[in-house]
Structure 1
Amino acid sequence: MVSTGHRLEESGGNAATTTVDVKCTGHVRTAVGQPRMEYTFEGDTLREFLDAFLEEYDVADLLIAESETESTHRGWVPDAEDLPGTWRKNPEGEQSRRYARICVNGRFNEHLDGLDTELEAGDRVALMYPFIYCC
């Protein structure tokens, strides 16, 4: 594991690795056992980070929705098509669970390139559950 916080291209055909600063809140923090860590993985996308991180830490059920039903909640908020502006959503199977969010440098991944968001050394990845937004 690389602890320098720099993207590193290994010689001999090994894959590039990226080290990011991971912040965990709520139930994710409890399951992982710490609120913050540096994490090194092979690759440079959020998808590759999540593949590695979720293989090492058993928190996929807290973060990743497998269906549209698991990602949305019916309530007092109008449907997105009834709201003004543009609303972006990751494709089914690549969404976070309701009340959970994955952020890169303080921005929801669906407002970036979803799971294909490119990560650089030192980027901050936040794994939040529960995420609650209040006026």
Structure 2
Amino acid sequence: MSTTTDTESTTPQTTTVALRATGHVRDAMETPQQEFTFEGDTLRDLLEEFFDQHPELAEMLIAETEAEASTSGWAKPPENLPGTWHKNPEGEQTKPFARVMVNGKFNEVLDGFDTKISDGDRVSFVYPFIFCC
């Protein structure tokens, strides 16, 4: 017999994370270090809610196409790479040099945008300054 009431089962889960930003994203954010509470428990849930509120930051970080996720000058990888290599699917990648991290790890080495997030986790938007000649 279940003891869950209708109210409990329809109440959405919320998660609160420590949200941090560096580089160009830090400059663009009003508050580059903040707690952020969102409905859900995945990186995708966080990003959707945060970028709904701050679409200009999504434009800085998220690549919509494979071409936006790539840059010229990368070395061609060998045919047989060691270990397990995978890439986030198109539309779920960051722009060159931009990264989204969960607890200090790039989302690409976790479960991409489906990475589970718990209360108190640290999520970072990283887009370093690049200086040239």
The answer, yes or no, to whether TM exceeds 0.5 is: yes
Contact map agreement 1:99 1:131 (CA 8 A) in 2: no
Amino acid across the alignment from 2:65: S
Deviations 1:57-85 (A, max 9, x none): 2311001001111111111x322345742
Q: 1:81 to 1:89 in 2, by over 3 A?
A: farther
Contact map agreement 2:24 2:129 (CA 8 A) in 1: no
The answer to whether the aligner puts 1:80 opposite 2:73 as a matched pair is no
Question: What's the offset of the Cα at 1:129?
Answer: 1.2
Question: What's the offset of the Cα at 1:119?
Answer: 0.1
Question: What's the offset of the Cα at 1:12?
Answer: 6.8
The answer to whether the aligner puts 1:57 opposite 2:62 as a matched pair is no
Give 1:1-135 correspondences, 5 Å limit. Answer: 11=8, 13-58=10-55, 59-75=57-73, 77-82=74-79, 84-85=81-82, 86-130=84-128
- TM-score, scaled to structure 2: 0.83
Amino acid across the alignment from 2:37: T
Residue 4 of structure 1: aligned partner: none
Q: Number of aligned pairs?
A: 122
Residues 122-131 or 112-121, more deviating? 122-131
Contact map agreement 2:41 2:117 (CA 8 A) in 1: yes
3-state SS in 2 of match to 1:80: coil
Structure 1: runs of 5 or more not aligned = 1-9
* C-alpha RMSD over aligned residues: 2.0
Task: Give the greater-gyration-radius structure (CA).
Answer: 2
